[in-house]
Structure 1
Amino acid sequence: MFTATYALKYWLISAALDSVPSTVLQIPDVAQQMFGRTSKPGESKLILDILDSAAAFQRTASDTRLGLPRTAPPSLMKAAIGGSMKVLKERAQKKEHDLNGGIKIKVSLWKLPEKAKNGVRGKMQTISAIRAAKMFDPKAAIRQAMDDLVAEVSDAYAKDVPTARRLNRQNIEVYSDTKVDFAILAASKLRDGTVNELLQYFISEEIGTKVSLANRHIELRLVFCHEKVHVEELPDDDEGEPPSFPLSPLRPASKRKASVSSAAPSAGPRRPLFSAFRQPSPLFSRSPPLKSSVFTRYHVNDRVNGGVAFTKAVTAETMEIASDWLEGEGFARSNEPDAKVAMYKTGYIGSGLSKRAIYARFEGREYAFMQMKDGYTEGEVEEYLKKEYELLRMGAVIKDSFDQHATNNDVHFPPFYFNFKHSILGELEEDVDGMFRYSHFLATCLLPCGPIDTPIRKFTGNVNLGEARDELSKVIHAFAHFSLVYTRGFLLLCDLQGILDQDNVMCLIDPQCHTRALKPEIYWDLGEKEVLAFKKEHALACKKNRFCERLYLRTLVVESASAPQPVAQEPAPAKPPLRHGFEQ
């Protein structure tokens, strides 16, 4: 009789073998042996193997339902183990951070498109492929946390768009992101304080969903304007070759046609302009321990017969200078993995060939307080720093004349300037704590110098000009040429280098020069031979540099501002002549 037990055995065997061919069942005694597990002499090995397989399948058939472990093929286990371990590790880290009160910050990258011809900018666009998220200790500095996230996003965007400028604090803004709306965050929230303080601000202002805030998650947008990151070269607006010589000995005549009619005066804007701008409170990029130091500054005045004269002020002033700079210098020299991160938390900024820079504050501004490295006498330090200050001032003066000459000839170029405004040349009074080796110092306004900020960029060297591949390099090469023209062949500004400031404008620092003086006064001045070498190297490039051409630098004639002026016999030119106040 075909009982239920035999039916179950048959089902198990069929499941193990998927199906049993009818031809097998027609073989004498096969069906009986399949459904009756009796070992007889001469029993078929095939039948025994089938029954053993069925029995094994029967033992594991209910594993999932009974909660018993299910075995998997070794190949599948090997393929999945890597991903599984990664997931387990991330879960363990998340659990550990959650237990310790960790805070997760997520950032996404967005772009404000280029303005249309009517001046209207389109809606903010997400760059969905680029995101970053990281768990932070609640006590971690928010500035460092943002540096880490911006650096990760910046690396990813640079990989996707190699021609774009690197994203940094100068060309991005940070918005809160609630998935429903967004709002720009005050810079102070991202520079001062800790990650936990930012979270508490989000909670108090109800920025974000209740779930995300309860989970200690902060979501932000990093937003950049298209034109700040994707900078196109200025169009070449030359209108043919300039004349081989100026039409005027003072200034080349303009090639633009005179207007035959004057436009009617504008009626003014149709709507009043309202501004929500509020003057921000001072924000500081670093918070090292500071020590008040009393100093007296030097004033510089032009001499009648050329050169400058330094006079010492009567009133003393006070500057706050980082007291932990030696510790930061030690981190800078270390090869430890986290040494660089630790350095940025101190007041040590960096060092060059002859000077070191230390963080300082004066009258609410941040400064780079610079002194010579060890190995000089106090007299040498005073002499060198006075020469550097004088040259920095001269660079700013020549740049003003360069700008005026460009305006007179309707030439436009990417902006740049020298870091001279608010600079201080001074002498410290008694250094009780022995923080500094010398008393003389030079301090200039601090430029962005964090781990994600753009590094110093060289435009010209001390003994070589180099190649100009973009608009900014071309105009700075033209400026170097202009310095030689402006000083009537006596002085050439060189070693022109700079850093992008907070507004993404190039700020030139620490220039050097070569002169045609019979006896150069400073170590970097290599004399007339380098002036002639520059002329030779720049000669070919000058003809191809549209700024040199549009400014007529190959043929420009310059007169002294102190020279007597003849009485005009005919109408004066439409634009003022190029004059200078430089005297050898």
Structure 2
Amino acid sequence: MAICNGCSLDFYDLPNETCYKCKELFGKSETEKVSIRKKGQCLCCSVVYGELQAALCASCCSKYANADSIPKQIFELEGANDQILNFQTRLPRVQNSSLKKTLSAAAQGASSTKKAAPGISKGVTILQEMQDAREQGKKVKFTVLVYKLTPKKGGVLSMVPVEAKWIPSVRAVEKIREDMPIYDALDHVTLRVQQYHASEFTMAAKIRRQMITFYASESATKYANIPDDILRSGTVSDFLAHFKNNGYISSAQYVAKQLELKVVVNEADLYPASDGDFTMPSAVISGSKSRSSSRASAKVSVTPTPTSRARPVRTSAWPRTLSFSRPCPMVEYKFRRYTVTETAEWVKIWAPAADAPFEVLFVAADWMEGASMSKAGETFHKTGFLGSGTSKNTIYARVGQEEYALGQAQDATLDHHSHLQMLRGELTNLHNGAMILKDFRELADECGVNLPPFKFNVDGAILGALEPFEGSGNNDVLPLTHFLATRFLPCGVVDTPIQKFTGNADCGAEPTDHLTATVHAFSHYVPIFTDNELVLCDLQGIFDRKNIMTLIDPQSHSSQRDATSRPFWDSGPQGIKTFLSHHLKVCHENDICNRLDLLEMRMEHTSGVIHPRSPTNSPERPKKKPKPHRAGFPEDETGPV
């Protein structure tokens, strides 16, 4: 087995270091090269025939049809097994003893007793070897090269290979089943890249999925960015077809199920700046095309490639293939959901009616095992345990075709009132956060300030009440009656871990990046918007599959003075004062706060006294006094909160 030094294809009987097609391409014009690339090529000896449409040429078929044994690597080539068998049946007599034994063993169903033919591993029969080879034939070989964006003179970001001690560039090879969802397959690829890179560059940051941009090679010097929709939907087989249709691989590579993928990381992400400078640079990538990303700071100027054309959206009645992130055992529950009424001024949560219909919820049955593995420092990401915070466990769940992160209190003995108060307060904070963030972005647009994308994980959130348990039932899996479920976010081994932006009592450390500075400015804006009635704190989040920072589990301090009507995290007016005073000490150093003029901003009220939103760079506009919902609720749970 050898790899051509020109096209990097594997050939079992490669006579030299360069395959015949690469030799034929050398020195030819671009027009001639197009014609040569269209020719068929034997994937065993690399010989080129214009009319060859199969994996092997006639010479190789004849060679292995007459051989005493057939190497496993030949069977891995799609269609090679059928070619050899068909060629062998045309011979005047059966000359291939290994094939004869194979067919006899298959007919008798006693292959386990047959002796292995020469050239095949001991203890494994020929039929088993062929079955293994066919299974391998259902896999696509990913050859992955790691590149980094490095700043050059003139503000240009150049794409260069990541050098390693043992090879010219970090190269990972993965064989992945063609029916696997491509998003999961690229997680496997990222994990291999992460491991290789960490072993060679111990001082660099760990490569995460959200740091990566995926490219395909159009030529030796030209790269094409792979669109997000291709990276998120479909299977590995669809991914391979995309490479073939766009000319990123040859027909021979498509038949052999081989592709080359470039994984590109910004060098600034591998070696983060420590001087607190989070200004986003303006640069250009030389000779390539890139997608916009909150992780990459580069602007690209290139000639559009075919992948950049708008794709028409069509509808189909064909059933969608479901692929779930956690294939763990699930337990079924029934529940009724609370309803949320949201306007520009308030949020109200209504308890479900007694005759409301039940919905079905599936919950990971092994999450407690995963929690134990997490405490022991073991990898738990194949179980249904997603993580835990100060007071709550998060568990993998599904409602219909959607995946969720379900939260319940860690203390299974917590009384019903306190638990429901905590969950309702968290859902209310999500809604308030989304409402205020919308106004915050409007202000930034008015002031001409570009903000990095982030959001609250509120869309599709469910506050639910489980059907009363009968006997022991499933209460060993979910010990409490109520739960809060929010949309599932990527939290695997290769994904960026939860990023903490602020604490409960203060904003935490000064920001060293653009996103953190923006979230701190948003935290400053919340008490301004609510006239010091509310502060959202403990802001943390994860990047979603579209690489947008999504905030989860927010807490709050409110102007509610009665401590018994507040969740445990709400420190009341004193909490607002403490949190805000901590930020104001460094507010003047936050570029976002300065550009929005938050220190001088006042909100307009309906009392008739007009206060401009900002004395300099924001237009006046009337606004009703906001009434965000506090986290507490009355004893009567049948009406609105």
Q: 1:513 aligns with which of 547, 553, 556?
A: 556
Residues 423-478 of structure 1: CA deviation (Å, up to 9, x unaligned): 11111224564132122111111111111000001111112322211111111111
Distance 1:279 1:471, change over 3 A: farther
Distance 2:515 2:231 in 1: 34
Q: Which residue of 2 aligns with 1:365?
A: 402
Q: 2:261 aligns with which of 199, 221, 225?
A: 221
Deviation (angstroms), 1:411: 1.8
Deviation (angstroms), 1:418: 0.8
Comparing 308-317 with 531-540, greater Cα deviation is found at: 308-317
Alpha-carbon RMSD across the aligned residues, in angstroms, is 5.0
* Letter of the structure 2 residue corresponding to residue 360 of structure 1: A
SS in 2 for 1:548: helix
Comparing 469-478 with 130-139, greater Cα deviation is found at: 130-139
Q: 2:482 aligns with which of 435, 440, 446?
A: 440
Comparing 137-146 with 392-401, greater Cα deviation is found at: 137-146
Q: Higher relative contact order at CA 8 Å, sep ≥6: structure 1 or structure 2?
A: 1
Distance 1:225 1:134 in 2: 19
Q: Which residue of 2 aligns with 1:285?
A: 325
The answer to whether the Cα contact below 8 Å between 2:338 and 2:350 also exists between their aligned partners in 1 is yes
Matched, 1:559 2:601: no
The answer to whether the Cα contact below 8 Å between 1:514 and 1:526 also exists between their aligned partners in 2 is yes
Distance 1:190 1:502 in 2: 8
Q: 1:524 aligns with which of 569, 574, 580?
A: 569
Comparing 224-233 with 373-382, greater Cα deviation is found at: 224-233
Matched, 1:392 2:427: no
Q: 2:363 aligns with which of 314, 319, 322?
A: 322
Q: 1:497 aligns with which of 540, 548, 572?
A: 540
Matched, 1:454 2:496: yes
Comparing 524-533 with 400-409, greater Cα deviation is found at: 524-533
SS in 2 for 1:436: coil
Distance 1:466 1:402 in 2: 21
SS in 2 for 1:554: helix
Residues 57-79 of structure 1: CA deviation (Å, up to 9, x unaligned): xxxxxxxxxxxxxxxxxxxxxxx
The answer to whether the Cα contact below 8 Å between 1:296 and 1:312 also exists between their aligned partners in 2 is yes
Distance 2:344 2:219 in 1: 65
The answer to whether the Cα contact below 8 Å between 2:489 and 2:542 also exists between their aligned partners in 1 is yes
Distance 1:176 1:346 in 2: 37
Distance 2:441 2:491 in 1: 27
The answer to whether the Cα contact below 8 Å between 2:396 and 2:403 also exists between their aligned partners in 1 is yes
SS in 2 for 1:312: coil
Distance 1:217 1:301, change over 3 A: closer
Q: Which residue of 2 aligns with 1:78?
A: none
* Letter of the structure 1 residue corresponding to residue 350 of structure 2: F
Deviation (angstroms), 1:576: 3.2
Distance 2:417 2:206 in 1: 43
Distance 1:138 1:536, change over 3 A: closer
Distance 2:505 2:543 in 1: 24
Q: Which residue of 1 aligns with 2:145?
A: 109
**How do 1:156-305 residues align onto structure 2 when only pairs under 5 Å count?**
166-168=207-209, 171-173=212-214, 218-224=258-264, 233-234=278-279, 275-278=310-313, 281=320, 283-301=323-341
The answer to whether the Cα contact below 8 Å between 2:141 and 2:173 also exists between their aligned partners in 1 is yes
Deviation (angstroms), 1:110: 5.6
Q: TM-score, structure 2 length as denominator?
A: 0.56
Distance 1:396 1:530 in 2: 21
Distance 1:275 1:138 in 2: 27
Deviation (angstroms), 1:198: 9.3
Distance 2:524 2:244 in 1: 58
Distance 1:277 1:290 in 2: 37
The answer to whether the Cα contact below 8 Å between 2:141 and 2:257 also exists between their aligned partners in 1 is yes
The answer to whether the Cα contact below 8 Å between 1:321 and 1:358 also exists between their aligned partners in 2 is no
Deviation (angstroms), 1:162: 7.0
In structure 1, the gaps of 5 or more residues are: 1-91, 116-120, 238-272, 567-572
Distance 2:342 2:182 in 1: 47
The answer to whether the Cα contact below 8 Å between 1:236 and 1:546 also exists between their aligned partners in 2 is no
Residues 159-188 of structure 1: CA deviation (Å, up to 9, x unaligned): 769788834167444759999999969989
Q: Which residue of 2 aligns with 1:485?
A: 528
Comparing 536-545 with 574-583, greater Cα deviation is found at: 574-583
SS in 2 for 1:396: helix
Distance 2:575 2:201 in 1: 42
Distance 2:212 2:490 in 1: 12
Matched, 1:147 2:187: yes
* Letter of the structure 2 residue corresponding to residue 555 of structure 1: E
The answer to whether the Cα contact below 8 Å between 1:176 and 1:207 also exists between their aligned partners in 2 is yes
Comparing 309-318 with 551-560, greater Cα deviation is found at: 309-318
Q: Which residue of 2 aligns with 1:474?
A: 517
Distance 2:531 2:144 in 1: 54
The answer to whether the Cα contact below 8 Å between 1:517 and 1:528 also exists between their aligned partners in 2 is yes
Distance 1:189 1:505, change over 3 A: closer
Q: Which residue of 2 aligns with 1:47?
A: none
Distance 2:280 2:243 in 1: 49
Distance 1:143 1:574 in 2: 45
The answer to whether the Cα contact below 8 Å between 2:604 and 2:625 also exists between their aligned partners in 1 is yes
Matched, 1:548 2:593: yes
Structure 1 segments (4+ residues) deviating >6 Å: 95-99, 112-115, 121-125, 135-145, 161-165, 176-183, 185-193, 197-214, 227-232, 302-307
Distance 1:317 1:580, change over 3 A: farther
Distance 2:359 2:503 in 1: 36
Q: Which residue of 2 aligns with 1:39?
A: none
Q: Which residue of 2 aligns with 1:81?
A: none
Distance 1:275 1:411 in 2: 29
Distance 2:558 2:254 in 1: 64
In structure 2, the gaps of 5 or more residues are: 1-120, 163-167, 283-307, 611-617, 631-641
Distance 1:213 1:335, change over 3 A: farther
Residues 1-34 of structure 1: CA deviation (Å, up to 9, x unaligned): xxxxxxxxxxxxxxxxxxxxxxxxxxxxxxxxxx
Comparing 551-560 with 273-282, greater Cα deviation is found at: 273-282
Which entry has the higher C-alpha Rg, 1 or 2?
1
Deviation (angstroms), 1:235: 5.6
Distance 1:476 1:310 in 2: 30
Q: Which residue of 2 aligns with 1:378?
A: 416
Distance 1:209 1:236 in 2: 38
Identity of aligned residues (%): 26
Deviation (angstroms), 1:331: 5.7
SS in 1 for 2:531: coil
Paired residue total: 440
Q: 1:465 aligns with which of 507, 514, 525?
A: 507
SS in 2 for 1:559: coil
The answer to whether the Cα contact below 8 Å between 1:177 and 1:183 also exists between their aligned partners in 2 is no
Q: TM-score, structure 1 length as denominator?
A: 0.61
